[in-house]
Amino acid sequence: MPILEHTGRQGLDVGPGEIVSVLGAPGSGKTELALELAFLKVPSHGEVLLRGINPLAQRRFFQLSSRPHDVTLLVQNAEDQLFARTVYDDVAFGPRHLGVAEDEVERRVIAALEAVGLGVGVRARSPFALSGGERRRVALAGVLAMEPVVLVLDEPTANLDPQARNEFLRFLAPLRGKSAIVWLTDSAREATLADRIYLLQNGMLQPVPAREALLTDWRRLAEAGIELPAVFQLARALDERGLILPPEGTPEAMRQAIINAWCESHAG
């Protein structure tokens, strides 16, 4: 049985410990979907099930306090929501709010900081004295300290520089098999890191049969505003200049096709 399931939008499910990505262009409705999956918004179509049950089904009125804490959402630019005097207090806020004993809070905070590559030496520092990438990691640590069954990530690398983005991606690797993760992104590269991929277009979800199949229609993805790997961005620019390139292929195959087409066009 899926640990989390959305029965509307043509359906989405995620199994225990699985990483599922939802790829959508800016404005495609990813944030709305993230709020629905985190039980922060009632879906306009279908329902969201946790372990086969809709936790909000018996609620006459929607209340934030009634949502299950087994599902946690990391919003875009989550570092903007940091507020505590120290890193420790910020990361500890969630577990304390759940009534976790203080010795267990400390264990969770230390484990969460280590998981995101921040040593315990930062626990007494102000989060506002850290770099943007480090603050994003503190925000992620605060989510991890709650030890959610399902973690929903709404474009977690938005507005990070390439180095900070790559570091953030590495932090998710140890989470495989622990928390189920739903990763909403506009980056095809990030989407391919998941176990399964859904494409969000016109408010509807469509499963991608295989990760390798995602880029088979790279022109359509580019036109929709999806962020493509660099080789496909180059392919699109050359395509617009009249260079004939294959309509599909892996990044490696596209790289070789670009080289071949360029050599042929400049032969002689």
Structure token digits, residue 27: 């404005």
The CATH superfamily assigned to 1-70+148-213 is P-loop containing nucleotide triphosphate hydrolases (3.40.50.300)
For 32-35, which contacts have Cβ atoms below 8 Å and span 24 or more sequence positions?
Answer: 33/6, 33/9, 33/184, 33/200, 34/73, 34/75, 34/152, 34/153, 34/154, 34/182, 34/184, 35/73
Q: Tell me, what amino acid is at 222?
A: A
Closest-CA residue to 203 (of 31, 59, 2, 3): 31
Structure token digits, residue 23: 């790829």
Triad 175, 151, 157: Cα angle to 5°: 80
Cα separation, 155 vs 127, in Å, equals 21
For 82-88, which contacts have Cβ atoms below 8 Å and span 24 or more sequence positions?
Answer: 82/127, 82/128, 82/135, 82/138, 82/139, 84/127, 85/126, 86/123, 86/124, 86/125, 86/126, 86/127, 87/113, 87/118, 87/122, 87/123, 87/124, 87/125, 87/126, 87/127, 87/130, 87/138, 88/123, 88/124
Residue 35 vs residues 13, 75, 90, 191, 198: alpha-carbon distances, Å:
15, 9, 22, 19, 17
* Location of structure tokens 């809070």: 105
Domain ranges of the chain: 1-70+148-213, 84-145, 229-268
User: Rounded to 5 degrees, what are φ and ψ at 113?
Assistant: -65, -40
193 burial type by CB count under 10 A (0-12 exposed, 13-18 middle, 19+ buried): middle
How does pLDDT run along the chain (268 residues), one tens digit per residue?
899 999 999 999 999 999 999 999 999 999 999 999 999 998 988 999 999 999 887 665 555 556 788 999 998 888 888 999 999 999 999 999 889 999 999 999 999 999 888 988 899 999 999 988 889 889 999 998 999 999 999 998 888 888 878 877 777 766 777 889 999 999 998 998 899 999 998 889 999 887 777 887 787 788 778 988 888 888 888 877 777 777 777 777 888 888 887 787 776 5
For position 66, what pLDDT does the model report? 63
Cα separation, 172 vs 150, in Å, equals 13
pTM for the structure as a whole:
0.85
